[in-house]
Structure 1
Amino acid sequence: MNKNILYLLYFTVYTIILLFFGKGGFKKTNNTRDFFVAGNSLGLAISVFTFSATWFSAASMQGVTGSVFSYGYNTVLYSILPWFLGAILLIILAPKLRSYDILTLPEFFYLKYKSKWLQAMGGIMIVITFTLYIIIQVRGFGIVISELLNINYMFAIILVYIFVIYTTFGGLFSVAKTDGLNIILIVIGIFLAAILILNEVNGISIMHERAASINTRPFPNFPHVTEKGGLLDPFANGQMPPIVTFTSLFGWGLGLASNPQYATRIISAKSNKVAIKMICYSVVLLAFLYMGLIIIGIGGRVLEPTIEAITTVDEVFPYLINNVIYSPLSALILISITAAAISTANSQLLIAASGFTYDFYKNIINPSIKEEKFLNLNRVFIFLIGTVSLIMAIKPPESLLVYGGYIWGFYSASFLIPLYGGIFWKKSTKEGAIAAFSVGLISIIIFIIKDFNTMIHPAMPSVFASALTFYIVSKYYYNKVNK
């Protein structure tokens, strides 16, 4: 069968199944709690599916694979390890966070600190950062669909826009159902791609032997030529120095630990036990998926030491599947890459909507809004945010992995200390939380704009500034009240 016809057939089947799964959430969604957190009713299996699928975005599927292809094993230290360290903090956080009756993470700030404005500021930041982060998913989908259907990038991103808007309109019930489909496709796609790669390179041992001798540029406009042994070196033979690598923890790791999309999954689980198991089981599943991506990245570089036809790391995975190891299974693998983008984008759209409608609009402007009108307002806002992200994705960032780490850094700089400090430190105060949030946010904006030291992730000094501010201000006001 002709390649293009086969790809179109797979894509059509995926579209029909996705739309079928997505419509189920509309019937179950009757109120705000259903819409945002699925009525706090999700069992273990669906919780693992939706947590893993939300985690495994285009930044993982394409960003990690392309970075491993270009930098080698350094990517494990730069992004994967920090993510898993962030997951450990989520396990510690989960039972404490669930003791608060909240629908959104910023609502915790109101219940803990009695500050509507801190909740509102958190909501507005969620709107801005998730709008920027959804660009990653739109770009990832656009690259793959352009390869899959041989269509223009602009038309391809319009397709993901339609898919994501539709699957988000039904709230978390719809998102969770489609996540179940998407994570299964992701697992199958990565497993198949890794097997095909290993078969071509004659096994893991030979793959590493050959990788050690590569000394080419991964693609023409990449800034570095890979030195021999660089793919296997933890710091890519100096291309990714230790300070660059380890300070990424403050962006990816601590950002994940304070990210609203994972807090939402914790809240939506039906019990503390389910929430903790969800994180643990998901991390095990994700570890296997990342092992597959590492094999694809290293093995792909062995098979194609330089890819002349691409310009960014995010194009590596689709190119390998469609050109280097093409088989009748390639269409399914490419569909799995699109599944990673959709499964994260719809979740982030839902959380972005909650940031505006629940944490800002209902909280500050119209507390008495009726339920049906409120749900419709969420759907209107989902449409608007999706449209803004679509427009911004026309000129997307060059590296999904690096860009994503900067976006997540905003959460470690602003949310992290008021969240964990408020839960685990008895002397925390409203004044300390507001000051820490503000100082951390202002700090990371300044460090990104001024670019003081490109070797240090801007989230690191911002987290320190936030933590110091939180301690000093909270202690002052606590002592003042308790004299």
Structure 2
Amino acid sequence: MMASSDFSRRLRRYYLWYTGAFLFFITLLSIGEYMGMSQSMIGHVFLFATIAIYAGIGVMSRTSDVTEYYVAGRKVPAVFNGMATAADWMSAASFIGLAGSLYFAGFEGLAFVTGWTGGFVLVALLLAPYLRKFGQYTIPDFLGARYEGNFARLVGLAAAALASFVYLVAQIYGVGLITSRFVSVEFEIGLFIGLAGILVCSFLGGMRAVTWTQVAQYVILIIAYLVPVVILSYKVTGVPVPQAVYGTVLGQLTEKESELFNDPAEVEARNQFRARADDYAGKISHLPESLELERRTLVDSLNHMRLHDAPARDIGLAERALRDLPVSADEARERWEKAREEALKRAEVPPRHAQAHPGATPEAERISRNNFLALVFVLMVGTASLPHILMRYYTTPGVVEARKSVFWSLFFIFLLYVTAPAYAVFAKWEVYTNLIGSRISELPQWVASWGKVGMVKIEDINGDGVLQLAELSLNTDVIVLATPEIAGLPYVVAGLVAAGGLAAALSTADGLLLTISNALSHDFYYKVVNPRASTHRRLVISKSQLLVVAVVAAWVASLRPDNILFMVGLAFSIAAASFFPALVLGIFWKRANRIGAIAGMVIGLLTTLFYVVRTHSFFGGSMDNAWFGIAPISAGLFGVFLGFATIVIISLLTRPPPQEIQNLVDYVRYPKLKGDEPDFVTEARGREL
């Protein structure tokens, strides 16, 4: 106990010095900017200095011990495991995407805050202490022991790898987005710069290195998140406590919305976007004739320009339009349908920020309310099912510490989540008051900077030279990263936010990479393929898998599959449908058996994937195919309920699990069973089909 107490004191001292040094570093850069240091230099210093810090911790934490590599030696104190879990949890979606979703969705975006926070209550009550009592290394480990063999282990491994990979792609996408903007490189190059930062944190030291790196990353990301919104709060209200005063600004924002939405120029712009959508709908309905007519019109126009010596610029634009025209009716239908949807979106009046469950009709309001509740549910059970989060509770010294670390996780996450709604309100106030209504020829530099990476689009559809709200398109993920520039804050604040976003993405990516590589090396290679593999060989396999998965994820992220928040939501749905029923029933219901659990996991996962493909436009689906109007981000709702029903029904119709498995349930659930691990636990873990 004394040794553990000394270890905790040393850690507190180290990280207090680290925090003070980081604040001093920010101060030095602020002085540097005041004295003429360039924005490019500030961005480079922030990003590369922080990556160097993480790399240094990763190198110092290198290990060849299996327990250290997989579970950090099971000696991480509760407070620090809470910080590491918070960093692992607060991914690019939380740091970059959450405030952006609240910016666009207003009240509806609170589903993310409610669901993600509520999920840790489920973790504390239903899973963390029991999984820690079980011990071992991974979630498939528990499934293999509880459900009698490698079949359940392999199903769990496949689901863990899929959920973690989707989540990982979102993080690497966020890394590429940040580095491409603040280091001024191509998006694809930015991906691999960030990838190098991810690998140096996890490659040498596994969970040990990732844990201490994540604590350092939490310090940076929480400072980076709070500083700009505190400054904004003071700038707008004179009070540097945004969580307490943003309600006042929200009232002013409501009045500003009424003014903007009823502005004649704004109404005209939206009508023109609606007319454009109708035009695309007409062309789509008359394919392929409309495509041929468009081609002939462009050819005739181009010939006319050449005949009459039109300016070279106009001829070049006409040639480009002809070159970019779809080559087939199918391609035209796909591209014009996307353009029609974008025009319709711009033609709609945005929901008012404070309006709950907006909808033009009672039916639309009902669907909005159902989607809100469905998303809250999926995010709660998804949080309680994510393998890279649940793995963190294997790293604590014991069950009591596991429970305490859930409390600290919630506290450290609360600091960000209670601030996100304020961030959205202040950012929207700045855009509505200082950007909308500006002359397009005089827009600030940040519009062009973010436009180069495809995150901001401006179109003066009514030709009045003034920016209307409908003519501005902002990507969800740009709100947090661009807010310091939007508000005219010193560029060092923008660099700080970029460093925080990078810390959030890297910390989660490290945990996810480790989850996938450990599952492949430990649960597949060691438990199934080669149970006699040496410690050295197991670690070599884990590190090689980590490298391969990282490169593949970076390649997928380079395709820019969707916005960060949807990809993260999909990962939650997959994890919820695959794991939650099997884990909860495996801990609390002795009658749950192998056949029922395997069937429940497979049916839950397949139902979720089927619904996403059926309803999401990226996969060629449509919301016309939705069940009860539920959006694809909440697909796990159906998988979870079908998973529970399948496990219960099949378990009741087939033989109960053997006595040693029921004894395992007692051992995991009841603290009174102390002392050395009983023989039946070891036997259950080693049991194979």
Question: Which TM-score applies when normalising by structure 2?
Answer: 0.66
Find out whether 1:4 has 2:40 as its counterpart.
Answer: yes
Distance 1:200 1:367, change over 3 A: same
The separation in 2 between residues aligned to 1:73 and 1:325, in whole angstroms, is 27
Q: 1:461 aligns with which of 638, 660, 666?
A: 638
Find out whether 1:248 has 2:375 as its counterpart.
Answer: yes
Find out whether 1:278 has 2:405 as its counterpart.
Answer: yes
Find out whether 1:98 has 2:225 as its counterpart.
Answer: no
Find out whether 1:31 has 2:31 as its counterpart.
Answer: no
% identical aligned pairs: 20
Find the residue that maps to 2:592 and give its secondary structure: coil
Find out whether 1:22 has 2:195 as its counterpart.
Answer: no
The separation in 2 between residues aligned to 1:449 and 1:10, in whole angstroms, is 40
Find the residue that maps to 2:626 and give its secondary structure: coil
Q: 1:438 aligns with which of 602, 605, 618?
A: 602
Map 1:403-422 to 2 at 5 A.
403-422=567-586
Q: Deviations over 1:193-213 (max 9, x none)?
A: 111221233252442123213
Find out whether 1:316 has 2:479 as its counterpart.
Answer: yes
Following TM superposition, by how much is the alpha carbon of 1:323 offset from its aligned partner in structure 2, in angstroms?
4.0
| Counterpart residue type for residue 334 of structure 1 | A
Match of 2:563 in 1: 399
| Counterpart residue type for residue 647 of structure 2 | F
Unaligned runs of 5+ in 1: none
Match of 1:111 in 2: 145
Match of 1:163 in 2: 197
Match of 1:49 in 2: 83
Following TM superposition, by how much is the alpha carbon of 1:472 offset from its aligned partner in structure 2, in angstroms?
0.7
Q: Deviations over 1:226-280 (max 9, x none)?
A: 8587211233556881111111134321111111112111111111121111111
| Counterpart residue type for residue 353 of structure 2 | L
The separation in 1 between residues aligned to 2:558 and 2:64, in whole angstroms, is 36
Find out whether 1:296 has 2:423 as its counterpart.
Answer: yes
Match of 1:89 in 2: 122
Following TM superposition, by how much is the alpha carbon of 1:382 offset from its aligned partner in structure 2, in angstroms?
0.6
The separation in 2 between residues aligned to 1:146 and 1:190, in whole angstroms, is 20
The separation in 2 between residues aligned to 1:84 and 1:10, in whole angstroms, is 30
Q: 2:414 aligns with which of 282, 287, 296?
A: 287
Find the residue that maps to 1:325 and give its secondary structure: coil
| Counterpart residue type for residue 91 of structure 1 | A
Find the residue that maps to 1:397 and give its secondary structure: coil
Q: How many corresponding residue pairs? A: 478
| Counterpart residue type for residue 561 of structure 2 | P
Is the CA contact 1:171–1:350 (under 8 Å) kept in the aligned structure 2?
A: yes
Distance 1:13 1:431, change over 3 A: same
Q: 2:230 aligns with which of 195, 218, 222?
A: 195
Is the CA contact 1:73–1:236 (under 8 Å) kept in the aligned structure 2?
A: no
Following TM superposition, by how much is the alpha carbon of 1:95 offset from its aligned partner in structure 2, in angstroms?
1.9
Q: Deviations over 1:69-116 (max 9, x none)?
A: 111132112x11111221111101222222213210011011111121
The separation in 1 between residues aligned to 2:229 and 2:199, in whole angstroms, is 32
The separation in 1 between residues aligned to 2:248 and 2:147, in whole angstroms, is 58
The separation in 2 between residues aligned to 1:196 and 1:167, in whole angstroms, is 32
Q: Deviations over 1:414-440 (max 9, x none)?
A: 111111101001211111111111111
Map 1:60-71 to 2 at 5 A.
60-71=94-105
Question: Which TM-score applies when normalising by structure 1?
Answer: 0.93
462-471 vs 452-461, which deviates more? Answer: 452-461
Match of 2:528 in 1: 364
Is the CA contact 1:105–1:263 (under 8 Å) kept in the aligned structure 2?
A: yes
Q: Deviations over 1:42-81 (max 9, x none)?
A: 112320111000010001011101111111132112x111
Match of 1:210 in 2: 252
The separation in 2 between residues aligned to 1:52 and 1:383, in whole angstroms, is 25
The separation in 1 between residues aligned to 2:220 and 2:586, in whole angstroms, is 39
Is the CA contact 1:120–1:363 (under 8 Å) kept in the aligned structure 2?
A: no
Q: 1:264 aligns with which of 369, 378, 391?
A: 391
Match of 2:489 in 1: 326
